[in-house]
Amino acid sequence: MQCPLTVSDVIEICGIIASLITSIVAIVISVKTLRQNSKMIEESTRPYVSIYIGNTYFSTVNVYLIIKNFGSSSAVINGFETDIDLTPYAYDENRVPFTNIIGTTLCPGESMQYPIKLENAPDSLKTLKISLKYRSDTHQYNEDICLNLSAHFDAVHLRANSDKSVSYALQDIAEKML
């Protein structure tokens, strides 16, 4: 003999099903929220390494390629490639910019400046493409950076020359602020 379901049995079963569906939806929302929070924490604490051009003008224009960690954690450089050879732009052919950068750790806010002779660049050289690979303790990052060199060819600097000791002190301060 079968027992017929009473109205209270049906209501209980519907309540159980509704509780089950609500629980599953809550778990799914919690998992998605945790994943999103994890991504946000990663984005806020990761290293952000980039390369840019800076310049100073004291009696002549000095151009620098600068690599800097703008992020909140240290980065270890794993790879560095350019689309051109930087040797002709180095001040010393034995010290070509970024030649020995692999394995270097950049702390948050740390930068390295390499002076380059941009005036040696041919007119046909408009951009410098750089492929940069670095890692944190937990992740690997790849950046493809395109520097618009032609924008720096047109830079004009107007300064008056005065006392050399003040000039040298200001040069040192300006270079450290790059």
pLDDT per residue as tens digits for the range 43-70: 888 999 999 998 877 667 788 899 999 9
Average pLDDT, stretch 135-154? 86
Q: Are residues 111 and 164 in the same domain?
A: yes
Residue 158: its pLDDT value, please?
A: 56
Q: Are residues 84 and 167 in the same domain?
A: yes
Residue 144: its pLDDT value, please?
A: 95
Strand order in the sheet with 61-69: 49-57, 61-69, 111-116
Average pLDDT, stretch 141-163? 74
**Cβ–Cβ under 8 Å, residues 65 and 53:** yes
Check: pTM over 0.75? Answer yes or no: no
Print the domain residue range for 13. 1-45
- Number of structural domains (the chain) is 2
C-alpha distance from residue 78 to each of 110, 128, 153 (Å) = 17, 19, 31
**Per the structure block, which two tokens stand in for 117?**
């002779």
User: Cα 59 from chain centroid?
Assistant: 32
In whole angstroms, what is the distance from residue 69 CA to residue 48 CA?
5
